[in-house]
Amino acid sequence: MSNTASTLSSADRAAPHLISAAAPPSLRLMLALEDFEAPARRYIPRPIYGYVSGGVERNVTLNWNRSVFDDLALVPRMLINVSQRSQKTQLFGRSYDSPFGISPMGGTSLAAFQGDLALATAAATRNIPMILSGASLTPLETVRQAAPNHTWFQAYLPGETQAITELVERVAIAGYDTLVLTVDIPVGSNRENNVRNGYNAPLRPNLRLALQCLARPSWLIGTALRTYFTQGMPHFENMGKRTPLVSSTAVRERANRDHLNWEHVALMRRLWKGKLVIKGILDKRDAVIAREHGCDGIIVSNHGGRQLDSASSPLRVLPGIVAAAGDMTVMMDSGIRRGTDALKALALGAKFVFVGRPMLYAAAVAGETGVRHAIRLLHYEIDRDMAMLGANSISEISREMLMDARGLDTYGLR
């Protein structure tokens, strides 16, 4: 990755104290992705932090997304020469430096100054993909220009031919080669925490919100006012009509999402010449239908536990989906925080994984530099873990390395 790291021996390059020492002073104690959350909570106003961190209803799915990884134990092999190990991964005709990318997240520029650009440029510098959200506050053309080879676009679409046709054309003209359609949001989910904290999209200006923002002066100056004075009022730029971020009356376009169905996927497949990916699949029958519709890939995801509470963790359904998907690329997100999490998902057959919240916390805390550091942390966790597992390449990560942590046989592994 950096020159310093690449001149180190393969045994030393993942040493945690060296990675820490290479970071800017303010990030030296950010030793794992989880470490970005506490400073982000102190930086971001309460309703916005609640929007980012929160799940839905009782947070059953949100909690499973983490605990499910602990159900699996790793079984390493010894005395294998791993000095030539590499985690480079081929995906859709490109070679990435790591087997993970950044999940699409709407409204990132609310939490971090120019959040979409910080995430996209950091991803490009570290040679991993970043998916720009359809609910983002930066025009999709601007982000693609800033990181032309590493940015994918994620669409939220109504079940309407005209809206779909217009968006697909716009995304193609902007030069994107990978289009992701998120399908787990036929209706808005029951995010009670947003109501309790006073979060809305658009934000409704009122005294409570003003006081909540005043309680976070660094954010107020470093993100909100800086954005306002450099760019004016942000708008939702990539989803139907432009809607301002703050307004007492405006309503974001969400109509007719519950009409969306496979006929619209067929339409998109006819219109879109690039790679088409469906995000939010949890049932293997849907994976089969996606493949039959000519989709290039799916992201097995429960939206980070933000949609249907009690929806299964992607990891639990992954083996069945991989078996049903044939040659279609299967990727996964929701709950990945550690190198071992990523490797467990890859061992169960995912080709690639994505990480959401921690990357946004890193952007809030330290902008592009923070995201670059977060990516490096996860990259070197994977490097270290591969060495200790006895793997020289991602293709060597297999189910043989896993067993049920409690000695049960939930995954049919041993």
Ligand X SMILES: Cc1cc2nc3c(=O)[nH]c(=O)nc-3n(C[C@H](O)[C@H](O)[C@H](O)COP(=O)(O)O)c2cc1C
182 binds ligand X (CB under 6 A): yes
Asked whether 130 and 120 are in contact (CB, 8 A), the reply is yes
The DSSP 8-state label assigned to residue 259 in this structure reads G
- Position closest to ligand X via CB: 356
Q: Alpha helix locations (H) across 283-356?
A: 284-292, 314-325, 339-347
To the nearest whole angstrom, how small is the minimum distance from the Cβ of residue 154 to ligand X?
5
Q: Could you give the CA distance from residue 151 to residue 145 in angstroms, rounded to a whole number?
A: 9
1, 52, 282, 350: which one binds ligand X (CB under 6 A): 52
334 binds ligand X (CB under 6 A): yes
Q: Which CB sits closer to ligand X, 164 or 387?
A: 164
The DSSP 8-state label assigned to residue 176 in this structure reads -
336, 350, 382, 397: which one binds ligand X (CB under 6 A): 336
115 binds ligand X (CB under 6 A): no
Q: Which CB sits closer to ligand X, 128 or 135?
A: 135
Applying CB under 6 A, the site for ligand X has a residue count of 23
103 binds ligand X (CB under 6 A): yes
89, 151, 154, 340: which one binds ligand X (CB under 6 A): 154
Q: Could you give the CA distance from residue 249 to residue 195 in angstroms, rounded to a whole number?
A: 17
193 binds ligand X (CB under 6 A): no
303 binds ligand X (CB under 6 A): yes
Query: Phi, psi at residue 190, to the nearest 5°?
Result: -90, 75
285 burial via Cβ count (<10 Å: 0-12, 13-18, 19+): exposed
Q: Which CB sits closer to ligand X, 5 or 260?
A: 260
Q: Which CB sits closer to ligand X, 301 or 340?
A: 301
From the list 31-39, 93-101, 249-257, 351-359, the region that binds ligand X by CB under 6 A is: 351-359
135 binds ligand X (CB under 6 A): yes
What's the first-to-final CA gap in the chain, in angstroms? 37
From the list 97-105, 201-209, 242-250, 344-352, the region that binds ligand X by CB under 6 A is: 97-105
Q: Which CB sits closer to ligand X, 34 or 292?
A: 34
From the list 67-75, 77-85, 103-111, 214-222, the region that binds ligand X by CB under 6 A is: 103-111
The DSSP 8-state label assigned to residue 305 in this structure reads T
357 binds ligand X (CB under 6 A): yes
Rg (CA), the chain: 21
Structure tokens at 195: 């109501």
Provide CB contacts within 8 A for 185, sequence distance 6+.
156, 257, 280, 303, 307
What dihedral angle (degrees, nearest 10) is formed by the CA atoms of 96, 320, 187, 258?
100
Q: Which CB sits closer to ligand X, 15 or 92?
A: 92
Q: Could you give the CA distance from residue 201 to residue 207 in angstroms, rounded to a whole number?
A: 17
Query: Phi, psi at residue 390, to the nearest 5°?
Result: 85, 30
* Interface with ligand X (CB under 6 A): 52, 65, 103-106, 133-135, 154, 182, 279, 301, 303-304, 306, 333-336, 355-357
